[in-house]
Structure 1
Amino acid sequence: MRRIIICDDNEADRKHIREVCEKYFASIYEQIEIKEFKSGQELLRQPMEATVIFLDIEMKKMTGIDVKNILGARANEVPIVFLTNYKEYMSRAFGKNVYGYMDKPADAQQIYKILTQILDEERDSERITVKKLDGDCLTIPTDRIYYIEGKRRYSIVYTAEGSYMMRKPLREWIEELPPDEWAQAQKSYLVNLREITGTHGEIQLRCGKIIPIGGIYRKEFFEKYDRYADKRWRFQ
């Protein structure tokens, strides 16, 4: 479950951000936990594992910029989106993990756009390490995998760089990879939904591979693909 942090000393502003986030993540079929804080001090006492921090700049005692600097000193890399009514702070609100700067009240479409950007970048950076048959380990970005073919206790991973056989059954891939981005098309095929270019009775992949959809997998496959397509394009 994703964790969203909102730190703002204005209750109405927190409520607005919370409602927009709830609507966004409900629309892409993801569950979230939202944690609200009224001050930077309160926020810094909590674990900083989160998808994003919506952070008010102008707060009493400790500003959002102070919080950003402390998090930076702790090597915390959670994306930060600043909220403020004061444009004069903008020049000091930049930083490695600052993904956006929004005037209050934050526009819902602007929040949708920045959340989509954060999730896309997070997804693009996901990597898995696998062990090939020769014993060598290989780290593969998941967005570079087209599809995976299962062969009993083994599997062949087809990527943009080539194909690799390894001692790992398909069921373990199904358990490991994000279920909202991968779907089983047949008993022996697991497909990266990002790589699909057409589904006219069979799956056409960007790499040119065509995979027929097995009858018992058809309903679940298209349910997953429809959710994925809706999630992918709703806020583009």
Structure 2
Amino acid sequence: MGQLRIGICDDEEMILKTLYGLVKQAVRKMGLEFEILVFSSGKDLLQQAEELEIAFLDIEMPELDGIETGRMLRQRNSECEIIMATGIEERYKEAFHVRALRFVTKPFEPSEIEEAMDACLRRRIGFETVDVYRNRNFFQVRQKDIVYVISYGSYVELLAKGKRFRKEASMEEMEKILETQLFFRADRKYLVNLGHVDDYKNGIVTIGKENIKVSRRRKKEFERAYIEFDLKYKGKI
């Protein structure tokens, strides 16, 4: 997985230090690479909103409180998971407007922080990265951005964000690298991202202008995988 970027925002220095330590401890237990950014105001956090994947926001901050910061964060980065920190239960209802995933209460309990982090990570399908090349330049692309993979024997091409990338790997190796709940092998040549499928009829997968035929022996398996994906993950890619 690429480095996870977590933001913590609170106007009280001691709370920032405490929460920083607990989040660091929780993420280390999960064995993830991470960077934790600390902010003493919502305004400071919003300057780096697009870089964050998880944000802990204190509801009771002066000037720009956690609710308003969360609203503005949603506008700039709709994919960021928000965890609200508060000691005032009466304000929980307000946080629903910014689609906060979890609430943690002061004083913080390590188990509560760990559960909140775990809940965030379980929702983040497709955020692992794949090392690829384009015109001999190295890139990392997130799996959720890969539309499909085409095999050319000893190497593959990946279509992501309108560009084609190359990776020296077999299709079997790519199946091991890519998340099984997100990708399905349609035939010997194609691996398709279920989150990018526009239509499926009579064994034909439509992705943009591309029509990809699912092999006859894989049709039922594909249909099960597609329905399961639709139920569990639709709207998260």
Same structural fold, with TM-score higher than 0.5 when normalized by the shorter chain: yes
1:81 match: 83
Q: Deviations over 1:121-172 (max 9, x none)?
A: 1136754421267xxx999xxxxxxxxxxxx97434596866632389xxxx
Describe how 1:167-206 pairs up with structure 2 within 5 A: none
| 8 A contact 1:132–1:164 mirrored in 2 | no
Structure 2: distance between partners of 1:153 and 1:20: 39
2:203 match: none
SS state of the match for residue 57, structure 2?
Answer: strand
TM-score (norm 2): 0.55
| 8 A contact 2:8–2:39 mirrored in 1 | yes
Choose from 145, 149, 154 the match for 1:130: 149
TM-score (norm 1): 0.56
Choose from 171, 189, 197 the match for 1:166: 189
Structure 1: distance between partners of 2:88 and 2:38: 22
Structure 1: distance between partners of 2:170 and 2:71: 48
Cα distance change, pair 166–24 in 1 and its aligned pair in 2 (3 A): same
Identity %: 27
Cα distance change, pair 163–49 in 1 and its aligned pair in 2 (3 A): same
1:191 match: none
Structure 2: distance between partners of 1:19 and 1:153: 40
Cα distance change, pair 120–155 in 1 and its aligned pair in 2 (3 A): same
Cα distance change, pair 132–16 in 1 and its aligned pair in 2 (3 A): same
Tell me how large the CA RMSD over aligned residues is: 3.2
Cα distance change, pair 154–46 in 1 and its aligned pair in 2 (3 A): closer
2:34 match: 32
Range 39-48 or range 120-129, more displaced: 120-129
Choose from 52, 56, 59 the match for 2:58: 56
Given residue 149 of structure 2, which amino acid in structure 1 is its aligned partner?
Answer: V
1:201 match: none
SS state of the match for residue 187, structure 2?
Answer: strand
SS state of the match for residue 50, structure 2?
Answer: coil
Cα distance change, pair 82–67 in 1 and its aligned pair in 2 (3 A): same
Long gaps (5+) in structure 2 = 128-142, 160-167, 192-220, 222-237
Structure 1: distance between partners of 2:104 and 2:186: 44
SS state of the match for residue 113, structure 1?
Answer: helix
TM superposition shift of 1:73: 3.1
SS state of the match for residue 164, structure 1?
Answer: coil
1:155 match: 171
Cα distance change, pair 122–22 in 1 and its aligned pair in 2 (3 A): same
Choose from 29, 40, 43 the match for 1:41: 43
Given residue 42 of structure 1, which amino acid in structure 2 is its aligned partner?
Answer: D
Given residue 103 of structure 2, which amino acid in structure 1 is its aligned partner?
Answer: Y
Long gaps (5+) in structure 1 = 140-151, 169-206, 208-236
Equivalences, count: 154
TM superposition shift of 1:6: 0.4
SS state of the match for residue 5, structure 2?
Answer: strand
TM superposition shift of 1:98: 1.1
| 8 A contact 1:154–1:167 mirrored in 2 | no
SS state of the match for residue 98, structure 1?
Answer: coil
| 8 A contact 2:151–2:171 mirrored in 1 | no
Structure 2: distance between partners of 1:162 and 1:76: 30
